[in-house]
Structure 1
């Protein structure tokens, strides 16, 4: 596994379930086609919660309401050596926003069966995606109040 001296890449991901199906995006990572939860990098000055909402809308054209924290996942990408720190949330109330532009990196957006995802019937982007789905199915949920965005001057 390649080593990296870079700071970890802070990302968010969102699990949205509706009728035992999970909102997933299809994308290519280092030449490999796989499925992922809506996910992406936290921008400078952006809260974790805002990043999760923004990435979900940008990648799927769905506006959602965050409901809980599933977990925090850490990994080093086998091919690139990039160190990822991923914060995964759950959300509900998906509302499709017709005129919202979708990221061009997203090949497809679909509602996939949770059971089929867990059974390996769809190639997943990484072990982070798989572990978050396992934890989600097991009922692992933490309150959003564990996260305290503090961006006011002097809050550090």
Structure 2
């Protein structure tokens, strides 16, 4: 059977507070990079559940998603590893809730709040060009209601595929 191409589905959170955006500094195969709290969609979860989980794991904050900022597709080629992956990223905006005293996810060095100007000044350290693109779309007021997303009950049936 021929190989079927599948993009890697990820979620990300835009969290703004007083003109600053919550980012994570993380270790990657390409060095230390900046990113929104983000990660992969896991089996048996909705996109909203995934982004809430990822924000908690990477920042130790509750996250309350308010809207979908955008859906983004990008291709990443690791020069060091020689891998090529296409990502389909669903970016949400919302607010950070309570912060908990718990360790951050493996590879996350710290959280930080940065203005857009500070993000532009550190663009060479971004995990992908989508980091700034998503913030710019958020600042431009791009929003889609969460009701646009629908997860069929079959996602939760029958265990892992």
TM-score (norm 2): 0.85
Structure 1 partner of 2:110? 108
Structure 2 partner of 1:120? 121
RMSD between superposed Cα atoms in Å: 1.9
Please give the alpha-carbon distance, in whole angstroms, between the structure 2 residues aligned to 1:50 and 1:131: 23
Q: C-alpha deviations, 1:99-149, integer Å up to 9, x for none? A: x332021011111112321x3335211012121111111111111111012
Structure 2 partner of 1:129? 131
| 1:18 is aligned to 2:20 | no
| 1:84 is aligned to 2:83 | no
Aligned-partner SS, 1:139 = coil
1:18 Cα shift? 0.5
1:64 Cα shift? 1.5
1:112–1:84 Cα change, 3 Å: same
1:17–1:71 Cα change, 3 Å: same
Structure 1 partner of 2:100? 97
Unmatched runs of 5 consecutive residues or more in structure 2: none
Aligned-partner SS, 2:58 = helix
1:151 Cα shift? 1.9
The answer to whether the 8 Å contact 2:52/2:65 transfers is: yes
The answer to whether the 8 Å contact 2:26/2:108 transfers is: yes
Structure 1 partner of 2:54? 55
TM-score (norm 1): 0.87
Aligned-partner SS, 1:82 = strand
Unmatched runs of 5 consecutive residues or more in structure 1: none
